[in-house]
A and B are shown apart, each in its own frame.
Chain A
Amino acid sequence: MAVADQQRISYIASQAADVRLNVELQTEEMTLNLGPQHPATHGTLRIVARLDGEQVVKADVVCGYMHRGYEKLTEVRTYPQVTTLINRIDWLSSFANEVPFILAAEDLMEVEAPPRAQWIRTLFFELSRIANITLFIGEMGVQLGAITPVFFAFRDREYVLNLIESATGGRFHPNFDRIGGVKDDLPKGWIAETKDAMRRIRGYCDELETLLMGNEIFEARTRGVGVIPADVGLSYGLSGANIRASGVDWDLRRDAPSPLAWKELDWKVWTHPDGDSFARYWVRLQETREATLMVDQLLDGLPSGPIQAKVPRIIKVPAGEAWAHTENPLGEMGYYIVSQGGLGPFRCKIRSASFHNVSITPWLLKGVYVPDIITILSSLYFILGDIDR
């Protein structure tokens, strides 16, 4: 990656030159508030940046504008109600939010869902990954100024949303996972439609590779920008594609035990050694393609059988504590449930990926230019609902 190194070196050199100039000219600092309402922050995130010219001296991230009190809400809801609510934490890949919660509850109840249910869960998990990341791939273009890719993103994402709608009833919030299995089986013709949609998504990935990733301006904007060394990323708790783009080969689907069907599939974990914004984009693009291939394998190998294990009508989870985590599209998401035998959890701690992903931002934004703030924020890819819960 000689080009990336070259660009990184020239970027650092220009930053150093700027700092020298600022010191020589004794310029004053300006505080810029990329406030809660801003087109670039994905929701209500506030960044208070002290600028010297166009360079950031110090950046503070203020989150919490979207705090909805999820963990408190789960204390006064029953398990089916909590499943409905947690759909809305990371609203772009809703099904993926339900899965770790249900897995933790099944752990406490010592109930195992039948194989067809596990395969359908994996299927929808990967579909929600595709729905989420296709939007990212297009939306990073908008943050950089290319307005067309995001429309392609919405256009091709519709296919996935329509699939989720025809199986579960809801496009964004499927509310489909249940303790013991899934709610409904797949309607007739769904497998063929899904295969067609996966073909289209692969075409979309190819199109975006030509339109955006192969674009020299895009490369100039993202290579060498926002480099996260692997050890720094791990110490801040980064997860998902962010840490894989720094070269760390860590994916919970492969590395953590899970009853879902990932073990039965033949797939690859994508990493990139550079750790800059381009690497994060590249890893996510490859992951989307990989997810479509996984969906194809899941459709081919779907076992037949029941989709729900025997659970009582009124679900009371026995007392105990359980932790379950999965590789969500945004990173590692986990739930720690403390149960006291009631209808709902006594206390539920939600470990959301974006909260930890965004914590590296003050360290990362030191010394970058104002346009690069936007590049870095959009390449880290957080959803505000995930940060604030």
Chain B
Amino acid sequence: MPELPGLAKGLGVTFKTMINTWTKGAVTVQYPHEKEDLAPRTRGVIALKEENCTVCMLCARECPDWCIYIEGHKEKRPPRREGGKPRTVNALDRFDIDYALCMYCGICVEVCPFDALFWTPEYEYSESSIADLLHDKDRLGEWMVTVPDPPALEAGAVKKK
């Protein structure tokens, strides 16, 4: 029949954990009052730097869910040098990311050739209506202030150019 030691040692483990919770505190974070610090690379929400965007449509094409909606038009801007031709430039009309569809995979951020999209660790943007989860380009621009600096790399890494 059951010899006590195995059962008793198990009781000891739970008792010790209880004492640890009383003396050292629980491992849980009491969410609304305390918040966890997230790593700088955490994929919370995507921010858009509008001046870098050239409406190349790469992010919208590569998104696995097709949750990025981009509309742009061609504009003529004054030439860079005197006497040159006016240059045509893509201007951004609409850049929406639908966070109800977004998988937070990061392909759009990675694929953008002009560094217009950035990850930020913000996560508190839940809404009561799904339609509000479509962030338009102004709201995406507002997220830019929360973008952290990329972390320093470990020893042995080769810096990307």
Contacts and interface: CB of A to CB of B under 8 A. Distances in A.
A77 interface: yes
Interface stretch (A212-220, A243-251, A320-328, A345-353): A212-220
Contacts of B9: 210-211, 214
B123 to A, nearest CB: 12
B7 interface: yes
Interface string A210-238: 11101111011000000000000000000
Contacts of B158: 185, 304-307
Interface string B62-97: 101000000000000000000000000000000000
Contacts of B154: 185-191
A189 B151 CA distance: 10
A302 interface: yes
Interface in A150-190: 152, 155, 158, 162, 165-170, 173, 175, 183-190
B56 interface: no
B39 interface: yes
A316 to B, nearest CB: 14
B104 A304 contact: no
Give the contact-size bracket for chain A: 35 or more
A385 B115 CA distance: 35
A303 interface: yes
Given A84-B107, A85-B64, A116 B13 contact: no
Nearest to B119: A169
Contacts of A155: 27
Given A186-B153, A207-B13, A211-B14, A167 B2 contact: no
Residues of B contacting A: mostly: loop
B139 interface: no
Contact of B157 (A152, A185, A219): A185
Contacts of A175: 105-107
A215 B6 contact: yes
B7 A216 contact: yes
Contact of B62 (A80, A173, A191, A207): A80
Contacts of B42: 165-166, 169-170
A169 B41 contact: yes
Interface string A116-131: 1000000000000000
Contacts of A169: 39, 41-43, 106, 119
A154 to B, nearest CB: 9
Contacts of A183: 110
Contact of B10 (A152, A212, A302): A212
Contacts of A214: 6, 9-10
B103 interface: yes
Contact of B155 (A77, A80, A220, A304): A304
A33 interface: no
Give the most central of B2, B9, B14, B64: most A CB within 10 Å: B64
Interface string B128-161: 0000000000000000000000011111111000
B44 to A, nearest CB: 9
Nearest to A175: B105
Nearest to B109: A169
Interface in B112-136: 119
A219 B155 CA distance: 47
Contacts of A165: 38-39, 41-42
B3 interface: yes
A187 B10 contact: no
Interface in B4-49: 6-7, 9-10, 12-14, 17, 27, 38-43
A223 to B, nearest CB: 13
B62 A78 contact: yes
Contacts of B153: 185-188
Q: Which 5 A-B pairs have the closest CB atoms?
A: A304-B156, A166-B39, A187-B151, A84-B105, A185-B157
20 contacts: A81-B62, A152-B17, A168-B41, A169-B43, A170-B104, A175-B107, A185-B153, A185-B158, A187-B153, A187-B154, A188-B151, A191-B154, A210-B13, A214-B10, A215-B6, A215-B7, A216-B6, A220-B2, A304-B156, A305-B158
Interface of A: 77-78, 80-81, 84-85, 116, 148, 152, 155, 158, 162, 165-170, 173, 175, 183-191, 207, 210-212, 214-217, 219-220, 302-307
